[in-house]
Chains A and B, each alone.
Chain A
């Protein structure tokens, strides 16, 4: 027989929680979402002494006051699921702040074990912690560890296996509040239905004006008796502390200060590497000057290093397509497989190297500690456009590919800030749009090619910032949430942690956004090989005569009048339709539609477009609907409603901009 227990890991951000989770659970990790929210849920398992332990990784939080989704998720889990043990990971170098969460866990009456992480680092910093004394004062088992160096892990496992059975009661007292707490508990006791909760926790939360707990109690029959008592206590407290909840916070920190005074001895620390680096990296002027090359490196690394891998995957899939076409005699099935399904899967997989390298670079910067400084440096500038400082990273990433860029918005806690940052992201000109610019700039503006292409990127940035400002004003009416971010100490990144984070994020993308991309590609294939007259044959994909009878052409022709002011023919409109798959497809589609190879395309389009209509076409390609992959990832991150909104506003914006360029251009030339 084997015993099974469920334990949870909790701790402040940057305490080394993921490292410990990985060390404890090894490879058996299941990643999902917490019910109803997009917060990632990780579960793993380990065995010790014949007992099985399921490990749930809770989000990194500073407290359990339910300010963010993360905090709500963590709190609800502990209250409702009642794990056998909560392992609270505490940073030994910042014990004071970390104990705030510990006290809240104790208030909840959870069975807790303290893992005192970064003990080695604390020692080098001259911080000495009396573990035995800490254990005694708190009444909780304390195990000193170093998750990174894998020190104390066996001790921790042993302690976990012992503590899952000892359900302990703690005795942290809040001297100035005990009489009030007692009074409230004496009333709460009268309701049998409240017995499933920890009454002391309910009492403290009521004093703290916690809405969630208040809602629970309001349903109770004792509410009428409790309400006046509570009001008078709160009034008394607000005279003393300004607000009742401020009083509780102050009291918690007083308790912490007393504990720290007892157990922590600090020798004078020396100037740390972090201080030295921060003197330079967070300087107002030098910091910005250094940020630019850092972002450039991130960008170059992601897209240049991944390019050969993407090309390889692209090649393999087109080869695979050819093999299937030549080996399956049924032409319809062969084309569906090769041009639809295989091309679709290929379209997903070419993102794989880009994402892998991007997430590797981001995880690397995160683990090093530099990532937390970037929003600090950019905050002021971004705020001017109604964006939070953290929006800088996704925006820069957008120049490469909007898909990973949108996934990078996950670090933005405030939901409105995050939606806004996602909505404007497709305006950052991704690398897939470059072939379109190159084609038209080469054909029409050969003397100023570079400048014209650059003007597209600039147009994207300017539009993104303007749109951000407009949306902030009319849709997300409050100002961006204040930056409050911890700047963790710098460290040399740990390859294993970085690789693991990278893989988890890439996997997530492949699983979720992948299906919609495959579906989109198959849809466009269907529109090309079928027409009002029925099945046209797979040849339509290479034969302009046939293609002009397809649904894609019909749609292009239907759209043509709308774009007549810009002077584009139906072929240009159909090409834009194909751009939904990925914007670089526009170029290939133009070649097919005009019935020439890509190498001769520029000779043809010189006749089909004027310089003004060409420039308008470039701008339209920049702005109009996000590609299917971007749309898929927007839906994955913030839902259908916003994905449709992004699509709609971009279409309108693209039309307005293209029309404006046409009008102004025709006035000048």
Chain B
């Protein structure tokens, strides 16, 4: 398990923890990123991380991406 900010581009991960405040967490979950959801890292350079979750692309500020703990999907090709 590691923060989303450290995930590689193209990686598919499962969200394990969201250690952000109530507001940020509610906002993430309402946009389709909740604990247990599978997300794909579309872009991760130095700025915010872009993930694909439930059919849409969402940019997440780097600070927040440090607080989202993810785990690599096991059944990779």
**Is B47 interfacial (CB 8 A cutoff)?**
yes
Query: C-beta contact mask, B46-77 vs A, less than 8 Å → 1, else 0?
Result: 11101001111111111110000000000000
Q: Which residues of A contact B46 (CB under 8 A)?
A: 284, 380
Once the chains bind, are A97 and B56 in contact (CB under 8 Å)? yes
Return the chain A residue nearest B57 by Cβ. Answer: A487
Once the chains bind, are A483 and B61 in contact (CB under 8 Å)? yes
Q: How far is the CB of B25 from chain A (nearest CB, A)?
A: 8
Query: C-beta contact mask, B8-31 vs A, less than 8 Å → 1, else 0?
Result: 000000000000100110111111
Once the chains bind, are A250 and B55 in contact (CB under 8 Å)? no
Q: Which residues of B contact A249 (CB under 8 A)?
A: 29, 34-35
Q: How far is the CB of B40 from chain A (nearest CB, A)?
A: 12
Once the chains bind, are B31 and A284 in contact (CB under 8 Å)? no
Once the chains bind, are B58 and A67 in contact (CB under 8 Å)? no
* Stretch of A88-96, A597-605, A626-634 with 4 or more beta carbons under 8 angstroms from chain B: A88-96
Of B29, B54, B59, B63, the contact of A487 (CB 8 Å cutoff): B59
Once the chains bind, are B27 and A62 in contact (CB under 8 Å)? yes
**Is A283 interfacial (CB 8 A cutoff)?**
yes
Q: Which residues from 497 to 516 on chain A have a C-beta closer than 8 Å to any C-beta of chain B? A: none
Q: Which residues from 257 to 275 on chain A have a C-beta closer than 8 Å to any C-beta of chain B? A: 274
Q: Which residues of A contact B53 (CB under 8 A)?
A: 97
Return the chain B residue nearest A388 by Cβ. Answer: B61
Once the chains bind, are A486 and B31 in contact (CB under 8 Å)? yes
Return the chain B residue nearest A13 by Cβ. Answer: B31
Once the chains bind, are A97 and B50 in contact (CB under 8 Å)? no
Of B31, B37, B59, the contact of A62 (CB 8 Å cutoff): B31
In the assembly, what is the distance between CA of A376 and CA of B48, in Å?
Answer: 6
**Is A404 interfacial (CB 8 A cutoff)?**
no
Once the chains bind, are B36 and A65 in contact (CB under 8 Å)? no
Q: Which residues of B contact A476 (CB under 8 A)?
A: none
Which of A61, A65, A278, A283 has most chain B Cβ within 10 Å?
A65
Q: Which residues of B contact A372 (CB under 8 A)?
A: 59
Once the chains bind, are B56 and A486 in contact (CB under 8 Å)? yes
- List the count of A-B residue pairs having beta carbons below 8 Å apart: 112
Once the chains bind, are A67 and B23 in contact (CB under 8 Å)? yes
Once the chains bind, are B32 and A97 in contact (CB under 8 Å)? yes
Of A61, A250, A379, the contact of B35 (CB 8 Å cutoff): A250
Q: How far is the CB of A78 from chain B (nearest CB, A)?
A: 16
Of B26, B56, B57, the contact of A65 (CB 8 Å cutoff): B26
In the assembly, what is the distance between CA of A484 and CA of B23, in Å?
Answer: 11
- Answer whether A284 and B60 are a contact pair too, CB < 8 Å, given A62-B27, A93-B55, A250-B34: no
Once the chains bind, are B30 and A65 in contact (CB under 8 Å)? yes
Of A63, A250, A380, A488, the contact of B56 (CB 8 Å cutoff): A488
Once the chains bind, are B63 and A278 in contact (CB under 8 Å)? no
Q: How far is the CB of A247 from chain B (nearest CB, A)?
A: 10
**Is A246 interfacial (CB 8 A cutoff)?**
yes
Q: Which residues of B contact A282 (CB under 8 A)?
A: 43, 50
Once the chains bind, are B45 and A284 in contact (CB under 8 Å)? yes
Of B42, B48, B60, B64, the contact of A278 (CB 8 Å cutoff): B42
Q: How far is the CB of A332 from chain B (nearest CB, A)?
A: 58
Q: How far is the CB of B27 from chain A (nearest CB, A)?
A: 5
Which of B23, B29, B64 has most chain A Cβ within 10 Å?
B29
List, sorted by A's number, 30 A–B pairs whose CB atoms are closer than 8 Å: A62-B30, A63-B29, A94-B32, A96-B54, A97-B55, A100-B30, A100-B32, A246-B35, A274-B57, A278-B43, A278-B57, A282-B43, A284-B47, A372-B59, A373-B59, A375-B59, A377-B47, A379-B62, A389-B48, A481-B23, A482-B20, A482-B63, A483-B48, A483-B59, A483-B61, A484-B31, A484-B61, A486-B59, A487-B50, A487-B57
Q: Which B positions have Cβ atoms within 8 angstroms of A?
A: 20, 23-24, 26-32, 34-37, 42-43, 45-48, 50, 53-64
